Every structure is written in C-alpha cells, then in structure tokens.
Amino acid sequence: MDKGSGTTTQKILCLAYVQRPRGVQGDLRIVQKGTLLNRYLTGDVLYFYKATGVHDGFLKNPEKVREGTYKSLQSITSEHNSLRLEDVKNVDEATVFKSFFIGLELNLAIEKFGGEKEPFLFEYIDSQGVTEAGEPVGVLDRVEEYGNMEWFIFINSENTEIMVPRQSHFVAKVNLKERQIVLRNLDELSLQ
C-alpha cells in the first residue's frame, strides 16, 4: 500500500468520503458521491486524499496520501456503503483511512469511465470553448445547475466567467475526443 505522492495541481474528482472503520475485518464506512465507485472491479487501485472539502464534485486542496486495492462494495443503507480493501485486514489498519476522500484524477476518470452514450458531466471539464469561426472563448471550468438548467462555466483569458446553457442553441457542437465545445450566438447572452 503506497503512502501517496503529496499535493497535486490536477483536478481530482470526488468518488466518496470515508467516515470510519466498520466491522472487525477492517471495512470502511463510506458515503458515495455519485455511482462511479460501483463500476470498480476487484484489483482496481483506489486513491485516498486529504482535502479541505468538495466543490462542484472536485476535491479542494487535495493531497494524495494513500492507495488501496479495491475488493468489494456493499450497501448498508441508501446513504452509506461498506468498502473492503484487499490490503486492509483489521480495524487498526482501517483507522488510518478515517476522514479521507476517495478521488480520481480528471484525466484518469475520463479514460476509465468516458465514452458512454451519455457523457458524465466531468468529461466536459477543461474543454476549450471556441466560436464557430474558431476564436477562443475560454476553458470550461465547471458545470453548475441553476434552476432547472445546467450551465457551462467558461473562464476566458481575462479570468472572467462566461455562462452558457449546456443544452441550448448556443452550443453548436461538442467534441469530447478533441476536448472542444463549439459555441454560437454568444452576443445574445448577457456577458457582463
């Protein structure tokens, strides 16, 4: 089990939060953030981070502290699950994981879970926004929900946010392989 590699500048997608050890075999009681952890297979490596919290699905100030080998995941309640790691055999070994987050670097998440019929929202992050003429608009920083709509939040070269409704006529084309989102009619948006 690796002790980790320290602070990272990568965006780290939050998969779960470890509350405490559970049971005599060293299982971990966790709260999942989404359902990606359900797609892991026995033998897959999980990455544990210290962080100051979660914002828009990503860890804030993440520091990778450990790795563990996934063995199984069982549902305890609708909100909590029990995670078993191959390398943890008792409660004492499990205690070190308390209050850590389970995370995955954005590029690894896209590689592991991307390419499905309906993309995960995290797959859009860091895509380049351009006009139909090819002029840069900004880099997609996050996807937020306001009211009943999801919005792409781009950061332009002046560090200004540009909000574009995700499912609207303003989005002409999305090419996740090229990491590009083609936008149109931005003059109709209030960009102040």
pLDDT tens for 140-178 read 998 888 888 889 999 999 999 999 999 889 999 999 889
Query: Is residue 8's pLDDT more than 60?
Result: no
Contact 163, 148 (CB under 8 A): no
DSSP 189: S
Tally helices (H) and strands (E) across the chain: 2, 15
Q: How confident is the model at residue 192 (pLDDT cuts 50, 70, 90)?
A: very low
Which H or E run includes 39?
none
Cα 151 to the center of its chain, rounded Å: 17
Q: What is the pLDDT of residues 96-147, one digit of tens each?
A: 999 999 999 998 888 888 877 778 888 889 999 999 999 999 999 988 888 8
Interacting residues of 141 by C-beta distance below 8 A, sequence separation 6+: 125, 153, 154, 155, 161
What pTM, to 2 d.p., does this model score? 0.77
DSSP three-state, residue 95: helix
